[in-house]
Structure 1
C-alpha cells in the first residue's frame, strides 16, 4: 500500500530540516565509488598468463603500463607518450591503424587492485561497468564473472561480487578488452568502408568528413567502473514520469501535476525481506510497503502522486528549468538499504502536426516551442569525458540562445552527466540511436566494402542492438531534457529493430516522448522540395537563409566555422599556418595540406570582401566577421518564417570532438569564435532584425506573453560615426509571433551605395532599457565592405574590475566624437604567458560600441582552476590589440 505523507503539515520543516529528516535514517553500508585511478594494462599478445592467473593478487604487475580508465587504449598510449597527439598537425598519420595491424595490436588487459571489505550481515557488493568497447572477459580474484564473452559498447554490466571478495579486503579486477570487429577500412568514406557499423558501436571512429579515423576505434573501458555496496536490497533503474495537463504559463500559481514513480528492487539473499520504498518531492513523501521474496528482482510502482502548485521545468529562453532533488530509497527498518538520487523536472512534452508548415510541432507544458537546435557529435573523439567539459559545452549552447541539442546517430546515447548539464541549462535533447544513412546503406557508395542490401541489415547482431537500446533508455529516461528519441541519422534501423523500438521497448520503458523514425523523416518534416532533407553545409549568401524555403523541421543546416588565429596555433604547426589563397578568376582555393587534413571548408570570396588578407592572422580575423553574419543570418532567416515555413531548425554542427576546421561555435579547446555570438545575437527570445530581401524591420517574439510599449529605434551610422535617425516608433507584438514593422530598403540602399553603412536596430522598454540591440554592417552596392577598410581608428576606452572570485566586469566606452568601435574581441589571458584562459564565458563578445555610448560585459571563469588574476586582452577591427590589468 502506498502512503502520502505531508512533511510540511507534520513537521513544518525548513529546507535544512528536510535534509536532516531525510538523512536521519541510517545508511546500511550503502556507498558507491569509482575505480578511476591506479589501473595498469598490457597488450594481450605480450602475456602467456590467463585471466584466472592475472586476476589473483599475487600475480606480478611490475612491468605493466599505467592505464587510463575510464579511457581507451589510445588514450593510455598517449598519456604514456607511446604515440603523438593525434589532434596536432598530421600526427594521426603516425599512429598505426587497427585495420592494418589487426585487432591483436589493440587488444589489452586492464587490471585494478582495490580494497573492499566483506559486507556485514546481508550486505551486498556490486561491480558495475558502464561501458566497455567492444567485447570483454571480466575476472575477479581468480574467478571469471561473465559466463560468456560480453559484447556491446552500449550494454552495461553489473555483477554481484559479494561471494568472490577476499577476506583480507584486497581484491583484483582484470578485464580483457577486445576491439570492435570488424574495425573497417579507413578509406576516406563516411564511416570508412562502412563495416564499422556491423557492430553496435560508434561509427565516426573509421573517419568522416569532419574527422580523421580514431586508430584504435576507441577500444577500452571507456566509461565509469564503480563498486556499489548496499544492504540486502538493491534499488536500480528508477523511473519517474511527470504529467502536466493543460496550457501552462511560466509565472503564477500552477494547477497540480501528476508524478509516477517506480523502481527495480533486487533481493539476492536466501530469505524474504520486508521494507519500505519511498521518495521525497517538495514537501511531500510518498511511501510503499514491500515484501520481496528470496532471489528475486521485481519492478515496484508507487501510487501516483498529485503535486500541488508545482515548479515547472522550461526550456532555455522560455522560463526556469526548475529541478526537484529527490532520493528513491529502500528502507529495512530504520536503515537505508540502497538509494538512487534523481533530479526531477516537472514537465510534459506534447507534439502535434502543423498543417501550415507540414511538420511536427513541439510543445512543453502546453506551450509550443520554436526549436532552435544544434547538432552534437560527442564531447571528445577519444572519449575523455568530464563533468566540467560537459557543463561548459552545454552552457555554450545555452549562451547561443539555443533550446535543443541533437545527438547524432554515428555517436552514442550521451552519458547521464551530459544530460545533467542539459537539465540544468534547459536544453532539450533529440537523441539518435546508432544508425547513419552513410554506413547503413541508404545510398549507393563506391567507398563502401559491401553493397546497399547488405549494409541495410547492419548491425550483424539485432538482438544485441535491442538489448543495448533497452539498457540505454533506462540509463537516461528520467532526465527532463530528453525530449525526442530518433531511430537513426537519415535512415531507420532495419524493420525488426524499428518495430521493436517503436512498438515495444519505448512504450514499455519510457512512453512519454516523441519517437522520430529517422532524423529527416517525412513524419517529422514533410519533404516537398526533394533531396535528402537536410543541408546545405557550406557558406551561403546571408540573404539565402531568408529566401530559400527549406525543410520545415530542418535537422541539419549549417555553414563554416573556422576559429581565430589563437585557436589555429593550438593544433597547426607553424610552418603550416598558411592562409588559404582564393582565386576569383577561376573560383578555386589553394589550401595547405594540414588544413585539408583537418577538414577545412572554404570561405571562397567572402573574406576577400573585407580586403585581401595580408597573412593568416588577418585571414582568421576577417573570417570571424563572416562567421558572425552567417549564423546570425541563419537563425534570423528561420525565425522570420516561424510557424509559417518552419517549426524548428538544427544547425550542423555546433561543436567538434576533434580539431576540425568546420561547423563549430567554439573549438575543441573550448575557445568560442564569432559563430557563437552571431548565433546568440540572432537567436534572442525577443529580437529585432533586418530582412535583407525586402528591407523590412521585423520583430520576433519567442515568449508566451505580449510585449507592449516597446520603442523601435532604427538608425544608420557612416564610417566616421555620423548618425541618422530612420525610424522611431512605439510598437507591440503578440506571443510566439513574427511581425514586420517598417520597410526601409530604399533608404538603406542609398545610404550604403558608396562605402557601406552601419544599421542599428533597437527595442527599448518604457524605462529605456535595451531589450534587443542588433548592429549590421552592410556592404556597398558591389557587395564590398569598402568603408570598413578605411575606417578611422577606434577611440574605445576600457576598464575591468573583479566583481567577485571568477567574475570580471568590463566597461567599454566610446566617445561621442568617435567612429563606431567595431567588432572587439575580449579575452582573459594568463598574466605570465598571455595565453588565453579556457573555458571562459562572456555575456557577449565581438562587440561594437556606438559613438557616445558604453557597454558592460560580464566574464565568468573558474577561479579555483586559475588562481592568479588574469589580464584582459582586447582587439578590434579598428582598434590595435592591447592588454589591460583587471582592478
Structure 2
C-alpha cells in the first residue's frame, strides 16, 4: 500500500541576506511578513517597498528522511512550485521547474533513507526567467507593462487593473514523500455523463510500475463494486453503464447528486494504491447553432437550457497559498446565496485547489474554467510550448472528476485584443494554443465537456471576436467610455464580462489607507485604484446622474450606488431577453486585496451593496420594468421549474411617491421563461407580484423622506427599523461604521411613503443602539444630495 510522509510545515528560508523560519505551503512574502521582515503590502503604498522580494532569488531548506515502511520506490512529490526552481537532495540535483501550474514527482529512492538528508529548493526570480525567455523568443505585446506572458505563473501576481504587483516565489502547495512498490495509480480520469435516465462512466487509469505483474483495478461506487479491470498495459480505458444513479444538477434545477468513486489497484488480493473522489453524472452541451439573429450560446445541462447567472472569479488572495477549504467554502456559499449558479475561473489566475471544485460540486455551482492565458500575446515556441502542453494535460486530468466543471475556455480576451489593439502578428502570439493545441488536448482527455477557444469569441474568424450577435461578448465600452444606460442598446447572445467599479467598504478603505484627510484623490486612495483613469471613470459615471459629491463620504456612497445601478441595468435588461441572451457573468465576485474595483465582496471579505443587489437581480423569480418599442413593459422573470401565476399589481405614483392609480392584471408565466406585460408611462411605476417588486423612475425628486430610525438590541446585534413618511430612495446602513466585524442583511432599500423596513445588524460584540445615529452609519440618497454629508 502506498505510504506518505507529509513534508509540509517548518522549513527555513534564505536569500538576499535574510534567513528566517518558513512555513510550507507558503511563499516568500508570507514568510517574511510573518517574521516582521517586510511591512504589510496591503497598507498604503507598501507594495512598492516590498517590490525587491520578487526580484531576489530564494532558497527553502529542511532535512528529510523516510520513516515509513520499506518500499521499492520513494518519490518526492511537489503539488506546486512557484515557479522557477532547482530541487537538490543531499547535493544531487533532482530537476528544474518552470511552471507554477504543474505537479512534479522525483524518484529519490537511492537518495533518501532513515537518516536526515538536506533538501533544498532554489528559486530564481520570475523576472529573471521571464527576461531570459523574452531574449530567446523576442518581445510580445500585452495589456500591462510586465512580462507575465513569458513565464507559466499566475499572471495577476505581476499586477492587474484591480491588483498589486507582488511577484511571488515559494512552495505554494503541499509537498510529500510517497513510498510505493510494484505499481501505483499514476493518473485516474473519470468522465461521468448522464443520458436516457442512466449514468455512464468513461474511466481511464494510468499505471506506473516497478514490476511487470498482472494487476487489476477494482472500481467501486459508494462502496459497491461495479467492475474489475485487468491491467495488462500501463493504461486502460473502460466505458461502463451506471443505471439507477440520480443526475447531478446545477442550483435551481434539482439536487447536485454526488457519489464516491473509488479505484483500488490490486496485485492479487494485495492493495497497492487507492484513488477516491466524489463525482456526479450529468451531460453538458453548449448550443452554438446559428439562428436569424446570429449565433447562440446556450448552456444545456442534462438536456435543459440554463440561464447563466454568473460571476467572474479571481484568486481570492494575492498569496494563494493562504487559501483554505474554509475560505473557499465561505466565498462560494456567499456566491450561491446571492443567486449565482455559475463561476467563471478567469485566465489570469490559477487552476484552483481541489477544495474549490469540491465545494462547487456540493453547491451545484457550474464552473467555467479558463486555461491560463490573459490579455497578451503568448509565444508558441520553446521553452513555453512544452510547458503549456504539460500544464494542460495535468490539469484536465486533475479536474476531470468534478461534475461542476462544465466547459474549458482557451483564453481571456487574447483573440479579441490581438485585433482590437492592433498587436503585431509577425510573431507567434498564441492562436495555435487556442485553436489547435488546447482543443486537441481536451478532445483526447476530456471529450465530455465542450471547449471554447476564448472569451470573447464569435466562433470563427468570419466574425469579429467580440461581436455581440455571435456567442460570447465582453461589454467594456460601457464603463470605459459610455454611461451604464447604454447597456440597453444591445442584446448580446451571452455576456461573459461586464461590470462597474466602486470603492470597498468604508472600514476596508480606512484600514488600508492612512491618508489624513482621506480624499478620493489622496495618495493612498489612488494607490489602491489600479484601473487606468479609474477615478476619472468613476466621476464621469456619476456626472449624468448626480452632482459632484462634496465629501469623501458622499463620494463613497454615490459610487457604490452607481455600481449597483449600473450592474442592475445590465443584468435586468439582458435577463429580460432570455433565451436570446442566455447568460451574464458579472465582473467580478471577489477581490484579492483592499482596492477600488468591480467586486461585490471586497478584499477584506466585506459585502459591498452590489452583493445584496446580485441576490435581487439573480433571484429565481424577479420583476423588472424595461423600455421596449417606445413603451414600457413589466418583464416577469421566472427561472423556476414551476409556472409563476398570480395578480400583478401595477401602480402609478407621482414624483413624491404618492399613489395616483393602480391596476391588477392576472399573469401566468411558464417555467424558465419571461413574460412581457405592457404598462403605461409614468413618473414612478411600481410593479408587485407575490413578494417581488420593481420600480421605474422617469423623473426623480429628492425631497426629505421623513425617516425615523429605531434600534433595538437583540442577541448578537441590533434590529434597526426605518420608517419613511415620504419617498426614501436608496436607504443604506453601513455596518462596518458601527463595528469592524458587523454585518447587515440588506444593501440599498427604497421605501414608498408609509413603508418601513427592518435591517438586521449582527456583530461579534455588543452594539450601542445609539450608534446607528452616528454620521454616515445610516443615510439615504436625498440626504446625501442635499448636503454632501449625513444628517
Same fold (TM over 0.5): yes
Matched, 1:561 2:502: yes
Matched, 1:152 2:105: no
Secondary structure, in 3 states, of the residue corresponding to 2:357?
Answer: helix
Aligned counterpart, 2:282: 347
Classify 1:721/1:504 alpha carbon distance in 2 versus 1 (closer, same or farther; 3 Å).
Answer: closer
- Cα distance per residue 1:449-497 (max 9 Å; x no partner): xxxxxx6646752122111111121121221121221221223563543
Aligned counterpart, 2:689: 763
Alignment of 1:593-672 (within 5 A): 593-594=526-527, 596=529, 600-601=534-535, 602-604=537-539, 607=542, 609=545, 613-644=549-580, 646-672=581-607
Match of 2:367 among 426, 429, 447: 429
TM-score between the two structures when normalised by the length of structure 1: 0.75
Aligned counterpart, 1:263: 205
The alpha-carbon deviation at position 574 of structure 1 amounts to 3.3
Q: Which shows bigger deviation, 724-733 or 82-91?
A: 724-733
- Cα distance per residue 1:367-408 (max 9 Å; x no partner): 011223222232222323222222222223223322222222
Give unmatched runs, 5+ long, in structure 2: 416-428, 785-791
Alignment of 1:815-826 (within 5 A): 823-825=731-733
Aligned counterpart, 2:123: 177
Alignment of 1:673-692 (within 5 A): 673-692=608-627
Q: Which shows bigger deviation, 556-565 or 601-610?
A: 601-610
Aligned counterpart, 1:835: 740
The alpha-carbon deviation at position 111 of structure 1 amounts to 1.4
Aligned counterpart, 1:473: 396
- Residues 29 and 119 of structure 1 are in contact (CA less than 8 Å); yes or no, is this contact kept in structure 2? no
1 CA distance for matches of 2:104 and 2:114? 24
- Cα distance per residue 1:138-172 (max 9 Å; x no partner): 233444333xx22222221023444433224x454
2 CA distance for matches of 1:729 and 1:459? 67
Secondary structure, in 3 states, of the residue corresponding to 1:538?
Answer: helix
- Residues 812 and 849 of structure 1 are in contact (CA less than 8 Å); yes or no, is this contact kept in structure 2? no
Secondary structure, in 3 states, of the residue corresponding to 2:507?
Answer: helix
Classify 1:457/1:117 alpha carbon distance in 2 versus 1 (closer, same or farther; 3 Å).
Answer: closer
Aligned counterpart, 1:67: 22
Aligned counterpart, 2:640: 703
Secondary structure, in 3 states, of the residue corresponding to 1:263?
Answer: strand
- Residues 404 and 427 of structure 1 are in contact (CA less than 8 Å); yes or no, is this contact kept in structure 2? yes
Secondary structure, in 3 states, of the residue corresponding to 1:421?
Answer: helix
Alignment of 1:113-128 (within 5 A): 113-114=63-64, 116-120=66-70, 122=71, 125-128=74-77
Matched, 1:213 2:165: yes
Aligned counterpart, 2:511: 570
Classify 1:152/1:29 alpha carbon distance in 2 versus 1 (closer, same or farther; 3 Å).
Answer: closer
- Residues 507 and 736 of structure 2 are in contact (CA less than 8 Å); yes or no, is this contact kept in structure 1? no
Classify 1:579/1:75 alpha carbon distance in 2 versus 1 (closer, same or farther; 3 Å).
Answer: same
1 CA distance for matches of 2:517 and 2:736? 27
- Cα distance per residue 1:808-833 (max 9 Å; x no partner): 8x86656696865953436489xxx9
Match of 2:297 among 360, 371, 375: 360
2 CA distance for matches of 1:467 and 1:487? 15
Aligned counterpart, 2:190: 240
Classify 1:111/1:591 alpha carbon distance in 2 versus 1 (closer, same or farther; 3 Å).
Answer: closer
The alpha-carbon deviation at position 321 of structure 1 amounts to 2.3
Matched, 1:732 2:665: no
Aligned counterpart, 1:394: 332
Secondary structure, in 3 states, of the residue corresponding to 1:554?
Answer: strand
2 CA distance for matches of 1:202 and 1:459? 19
- Cα distance per residue 1:293-313 (max 9 Å; x no partner): xxxx822334503231x3222
- Residues 724 and 756 of structure 2 are in contact (CA less than 8 Å); yes or no, is this contact kept in structure 1? no
2 CA distance for matches of 1:859 and 1:387? 27
The alpha-carbon deviation at position 522 of structure 1 amounts to 1.2
Secondary structure, in 3 states, of the residue corresponding to 2:165?
Answer: coil
Matched, 1:80 2:35: yes
Aligned counterpart, 2:418: none
Q: Which shows bigger deviation, 511-520 or 624-633?
A: 624-633
Match of 1:137 among 67, 82, 86: 86
- Residues 161 and 530 of structure 2 are in contact (CA less than 8 Å); yes or no, is this contact kept in structure 1? no
- Residues 41 and 109 of structure 1 are in contact (CA less than 8 Å); yes or no, is this contact kept in structure 2? yes
Secondary structure, in 3 states, of the residue corresponding to 2:707?
Answer: coil
The alpha-carbon deviation at position 773 of structure 1 amounts to 3.6
Matched, 1:416 2:342: no
The alpha-carbon deviation at position 665 of structure 1 amounts to 0.6
- Residues 814 and 850 of structure 1 are in contact (CA less than 8 Å); yes or no, is this contact kept in structure 2? no
- Residues 160 and 530 of structure 2 are in contact (CA less than 8 Å); yes or no, is this contact kept in structure 1? no
Aligned counterpart, 1:385: 323
Secondary structure, in 3 states, of the residue corresponding to 2:433?
Answer: helix
The alpha-carbon deviation at position 200 of structure 1 amounts to 2.3
2 CA distance for matches of 1:381 and 1:793? 42
Q: Which shows bigger deviation, 664-673 or 563-572?
A: 563-572
Q: Which shows bigger deviation, 333-342 or 604-613?
A: 604-613
- Residues 288 and 295 of structure 2 are in contact (CA less than 8 Å); yes or no, is this contact kept in structure 1? yes
Aligned counterpart, 1:90: 45
Give unmatched runs, 5+ long, in structure 1: 1-27, 47-62, 247-254, 441-454, 582-589, 753-758, 765-769, 803-807, 882-887
2 CA distance for matches of 1:662 and 1:816? 32
Classify 1:337/1:668 alpha carbon distance in 2 versus 1 (closer, same or farther; 3 Å).
Answer: same
The alpha-carbon deviation at position 239 of structure 1 amounts to 1.6
2 CA distance for matches of 1:691 and 1:227? 61
- Cα distance per residue 1:495-534 (max 9 Å; x no partner): 5434553453112211111111121111189755699964
- Cα distance per residue 1:26-64 (max 9 Å; x no partner): xx464574x332111112x76xxxxxxxxxxxxxxxx83
Classify 1:543/1:725 alpha carbon distance in 2 versus 1 (closer, same or farther; 3 Å).
Answer: farther
Classify 1:591/1:133 alpha carbon distance in 2 versus 1 (closer, same or farther; 3 Å).
Answer: closer
The alpha-carbon deviation at position 699 of structure 1 amounts to 0.8
Alignment of 1:184-195 (within 5 A): 192-193=144-145, 195=147
CA RMSD of aligned residues (A): 3.8
Secondary structure, in 3 states, of the residue corresponding to 2:257?
Answer: coil
2 CA distance for matches of 1:643 and 1:344? 30
The alpha-carbon deviation at position 557 of structure 1 amounts to 1.7
